[in-house]
Amino acid sequence: MKTLFSILTFVLITTFASAQNPNIKRIGQTTFSVGAYDHPFRFERVTPPLPPALSINPTDAEKDAALQATINATITADWATCIMMVLNYNGLNVQVDQILNLNSNRAAASHNSPQDLMFAINRTSPHDWGADSRIYTSTATLDPDVIFDELSAGRPLILGTGAANMEGRAFVLTAMTYTIKFDANGQQTGITPQTVTIRDPWPQAIASRVVNWADFVPLTASLYTVKVEFKK
C-alpha cells in the first residue's frame, strides 16, 4: 500500500509539474517527453559550399585534396548551422556566415574546427545578432539528467559524432523521452531515457529522427550546452 501511495503521489506531482512547464509532456503513466516545446523550432538545412577550383587537367592528388576540402567545409557549415538553430531558438537572430566570420581573423572559415566554433560563440553577442546578450557554451557529459535539465529549461543541445581527434557531424538534440525509476519503497530514484529526437541539417539527410537511447550513446562523441542570457 505504501508503494502504491508513493507512486500515485508521484504521478500527481509530475502531472502538475508537466502542466506548469511547457517543455515537459506526459505521454504515459510514468513516461514523459522533455524537449524544445515552448515555441516552434526553426529547422535550417546546410547550404553546401562550392568546391575549390581545379586546374584544367587536375591530378588525382589535386582531386582528392579538393574533395577533402569540400567535405571539411561542409562539416564546418554543418556545425555552424546547428549553432545557428540553437541560438535562434533561444531568441537571437543569427545567420551561418555570421558564426563563421567570428573566426575570420584567425583562420579561413573552412578550417574552423567544431571546437573553434563552439569556443567562438562563448561571448557577448554581436549587436547585429539581435538583443544584447551573453552566450555561454560548455561541454557536457552524456548524462540523462544533464539532458533533462537543459531541455526542461528550453535549451536544445548540440552533439557531435566521430572518434577521438576527428571532426564528425553535428546534430541538434531537441527532445528526450524517459520513464521514471522507483526503488522498492516506491521512491523516485531517477529517470531512464528511452529515445532522443535529433535534427540533422546535413544536405539531403532526414531532417528529424527519433533514435533509441542505446543507439544514441555510441553515436555521440561530444555534447555541448548553449545558454543565452539577455541583458536587462
What are 174-189's pLDDT values in tens digits? 999 999 888 888 787 8
Predicted pLDDT of residue 216: 94
Predicted pLDDT of residue 99: 93
Q: Which CATH superfamily is domain 20-47+58-230 in?
A: Cysteine proteinases (3.90.70.10)
Domain ranges of the chain: 20-47+58-230
Cβ atoms 108, 99 nearer than 8 A: no
Predicted pLDDT of residue 12: 44
The set of residues, in sequence order, having a beta carbon less than 8 Å from that of 46 and lying 6+ positions away, is 74, 77, 78, 81, 201, 202, 203
Phi-psi domain of 154 (left: phi exceeds 0; alpha: psi -120 through 50; beta: other): left
- Residue 71: all three cell numbers together: 567535405
The set of residues, in sequence order, having a beta carbon less than 8 Å from that of 143 and lying 6+ positions away, is none
pLDDT digits (tens, 9 = 90+) for 65-83: 888 888 888 888 999 999 9
Phi-psi domain of 230 (left: phi exceeds 0; alpha: psi -120 through 50; beta: other): beta
pTM here is 0.85
Low-confidence ranges of the chain (pLDDT < 70): 1-19, 104-112, 163-167
Predicted pLDDT of residue 190: 85
